[in-house]
Amino acid sequence: MIFASRSRSNAGITLSIGSKVFSKSAASVAVTEIESLYARKVFFTESSIINETNPTVKLSYAPNASDAEGWLDYIQIVFKKKLNLGSGQFSFRNRTLKNAGVAAYSITNYTNQQIWDITNPFEPKTVSVNNNQIKFRSTDIIKEFVAHNGLNSAFVPTALGKIPNQNIHALNDEDLIIVYHPKFKAEALRLATHRMNHNGYKVLAADVTEVYNEFSGGRVDPGAIRDMARLLLYRNPDYKYMLLFGDGSYDYKGIAKDIPAENYIPVYETDESLDPIDGFPSDDFYGLLGDTEGVNLVGAMDIFIGRLPVKTEQEATTLVDKIIHYDTSPDTQGDWRLLNGYVADDEDGNTHLRDIDDIAVLDENRHPLYNQQKMYADAYVQVSTSGEKRYPELNKQINENVFKGQLSLTYLGHGGPLGWAQERILTVADIQNWTNYNSLTLLVTATCSFGAYDDPSITSPAEHAILNTKGGAIALMTTTRAVYTNSNKQLTDAVHQRLYKKTNGVAPTFGQILGEGKNAYSVEFFRINSRKFSLLGDPSQQISMPDLDVVTTLVNGKEASTATDTINALEKSHNRRINN
């Protein structure tokens, strides 16, 4: 049995099976600390002789705190019984016979039923019955058998319907795969057409149910999507992008009836669901395609992954409209594409301020063409209100800068599902009111849980930003769970190194920026932290950098690099050089 206890004090768990009683104690958890274990697991693995034929099973939970909660995962009882064959089909095994050498089963009520050895389900073997016994040699695995009475009792597959012909395995040289839920087919195909026409990409738009049919036997399995990507990368080393078109949920089976079922494109979740640090979703699972990579989330990103967290057809239309508008509309041309925002929280001894200013100083040398807009909390007046301390002028400045337009906006500091910082310098209401449709920004948010898109019970601030119909973000490089400062700075700096760096005159894509940033460091703590950063957006979309650079070479006939003269009011400089 596995049980979980969440209590601020120790709690007792008692399991009774018939007359046998087993008790354990669950240690307390710090229920008010965000980084503390959410609940304690309690395992019962007991062996005993039960005298009753049909024992009653009871479970009791006795916490010492009134607000405690407990959850039963499962109770499994393994016991021996007579091998009495009836007319139906059933399977049997005996765990104690592992490594027993030669073993045998004595069978009751044998009337020429068929018995198969299905230890290897792909190679079932008929077992001979002699004198109501089957004998076999036990090795290092538990032998599994099934008994049935031919076609009269064997389980028969049920036809659920016809599956149309398909052949995703024929993919060969695509640049981009769009995996979409059938609900969003029309918009996924519209985006695929845009990428083919605008970027010249070869695009495969794959219905996720078809992916399941070919790669997981029809079962909903994120491994099927990963296997498809690995097949294409094996055939085409230049393959780079996968877009997951649909929201994901931690609730794969729809167990929680009080929240909507929104697992349109599944998200990989780590096993440590009770640990707020090690339990998190990660779309990186789909891009780690090496022979020893995947479940353990180790290695470098082999392809770049992004997700459009849409839940309705209208949201799908909104995002595809925004992507196409950002890429093609003349209305998006403007000097906002030379503006970059930097926002810092004031907590932790100004660690966040120092970290982001270090990055900004490096950016001045790496990307001198761009104009910086620094918005650091400690540069503004803090005001005490009935709702705790606030920075109203900083809040106003962030919103005004987004309204005027910024190519990117980066934040380092505390945050969560309500916005940025304890002082609420950016809230969900602010994001919903952004109207910057012609100057959509890229948001880089190194803060806790700003983009927890896998929780259907809430809409995260990151989702509000990208789903805003009047503006907001074109994409976000954002976090799904709690993250740590040192690694946040490293990844943010690695992202900024690539953010405005053209290759052969070509602007980088969102997927390339974040993916290569993650690949820049391989130390264990950084790796785990970086897996919590997700790209909400199209990984194959290029950031909207200006096509041309303007460089002043001469000032009043003198070399600009050495001249110390000053340009007076209304005076003109000469001989500008414009470069690609």
Question: What pLDDT was estimated at residue 577?
Answer: 42
Give Cα separations from 88 to 83, 224, 269, 376 (angstroms).
13, 34, 39, 73
The alpha helices in 472-522, defined as continuous H runs, are 485-499, 510-519
CA distance to 179, 226, 426, per residue, from 163 (Å): 18, 22, 49
Contacts of 257 (CB under 8 A, 6+ apart): none
From the list 42, 37, 29, 27, the residue with the least C-alpha distance to 75 is 42
Q: What is the pLDDT of residue 98?
A: 79
Q: What is the mean pLDDT of residues 455-461?
A: 94
- Rounded CA-CA distance 386/215 in Å is 56
Condensed to tens digits (0 to 9), the pLDDT of residues 328-357 reads 999 999 999 999 999 999 988 999 999 999
pLDDT digits (tens, 9 = 90+) for 93-127: 988 887 778 889 999 988 888 899 999 999 999 99
Check residue 326 and give its pLDDT: 98
Q: What pLDDT does 554 receive?
A: 81
Three-state SS letters, 255-304: CCCCCCCCCCCCCCECCCCCCCCCCCECHHHHCCCCCCCCCCCCCCCCCE
pLDDT at 565 over 70: no
Which tens digit of pLDDT belongs to each residue from 203-218?
999 999 999 999 999 9
Q: Closest by alpha carbon to 321, among 501, 461, 194? A: 194
Sorted by sequence, the CB contacts under 8 Å of residue 286 that are 6+ apart come out as 222, 225, 226, 229, 242, 244, 268, 303, 305
pLDDT given at position 575: 46
pLDDT digits (tens, 9 = 90+) for 141-176: 889 999 988 767 778 888 888 888 999 999 999 999
* pLDDT at site 574: 52
Residue ranges of the domains in the chain? Answer: 2-74, 90-152, 168-286, 311-536, 549-579
Taking the C-alpha atoms of residue 441 and residue 147, their distance in angstroms, rounded to an integer, is 64
Residue 167 has a CB neighbour count (10 Å cut-off) of 8
pLDDT interval class at 578 (50, 70, 90): very low
Residues 149, 143: Cα–Cα separation, whole Å: 20
Q: What is the pLDDT of residues 269-321, one digit of tens each?
A: 999 889 988 999 999 999 999 998 988 898 999 999 999 999 999 999 999 99
Which amino acid, residue 520?
A
Residue 32, pLDDT score = 87
pLDDT of amino acid 119: 92
Q: What is the pLDDT, as a whole number, of residue 564? A: 66
Q: Which two tokens stand for residue 153?
A: 């009792």
Cβ proximity of 351 and 485 under 8 Å = yes
Q: What percent of the chain has pLDDT over 70?
A: 97
Q: Rounded distance, CA 380 to CA 300, Å?
A: 41
Averaged pLDDT for residues 400-412: 98
Is residue 448 within 8 A of residue 483, CB to CB? The reply is: yes
Average pLDDT over residues 12-20: 94
Q: How far is CA 387 from CA 358, 374, 383, 405, 495, in A?
A: 32, 26, 10, 30, 35
Is residue 108 within 8 Å of 165, Cβ to Cβ? no
Of the pLDDT bands very low, low, confident and very high (cuts 50, 70, 90), residue 563 is low
**For residue 230, with 0-12 CB atoms within 10 Å meaning exposed, 13-18 middle and 19 or more buried, which class applies?**
buried
Q: How confident is the model at residue 533 (pLDDT cuts 50, 70, 90)?
A: very high
When pLDDT is averaged across residues 470-499 and rounded to a whole number, the result is: 95
CB 79 within 8 A of CB 88: no
In percent, the amount of the chain with pLDDT more than 90 equals 72
Residue pair 473/442 in contact by the 8 Å Cβ criterion: yes
Would you say domain 311-536 falls under CATH 1.10.540.10?
no
User: How many whole angstroms separate alpha carbon 496 and alpha carbon 366?
Assistant: 9
Cα dihedral 553, 557, 562, 564, rounded to 10, equals: -120
DSSP letters for 455-481 = -TTS--HHHHHHH-SSSSEEEEEEESS
Q: Which residue has the tokens 């032998």?
A: 143
CATH code, residues 168-286: 3.40.50.12590
* Alpha helix segments (H runs only) across 83-183: none
Amino acid at 77: I
Query: What count of Cα atoms within 13 Å lies in the side-chain half-sphere of residue 8?
Result: 6
Structure tokens at 166: 């398909």
Determine the pLDDT at residue 567. 64
Half-sphere exposure of 397 (CA within 13 A, CB side): 18
Nearest Cα residue to 55 out of 75, 26, 84, 73: 75
- In the chain, the amino acid numbered 498 is R
87 phi and psi angles, rounded to 5 deg: -90, -10
pLDDT beyond 70 at 579: no
Secondary element (H or E) of residue 373 = strand 371-376
The tokens for 174 are: 């695509």
- Give the pLDDT mean for 47-61: 90
Q: How many residues does the chain have?
A: 580
Q: Which residues pair with 379 in a beta bridge?
A: none
Kindly report the average pLDDT of the chain as a whole number.
Answer: 92
Q: Which amino acid is at 153?
A: S
pLDDT at 411 over 90: yes
User: Of 461, 457, 494, nearest to 476 (Cα)?
Assistant: 461
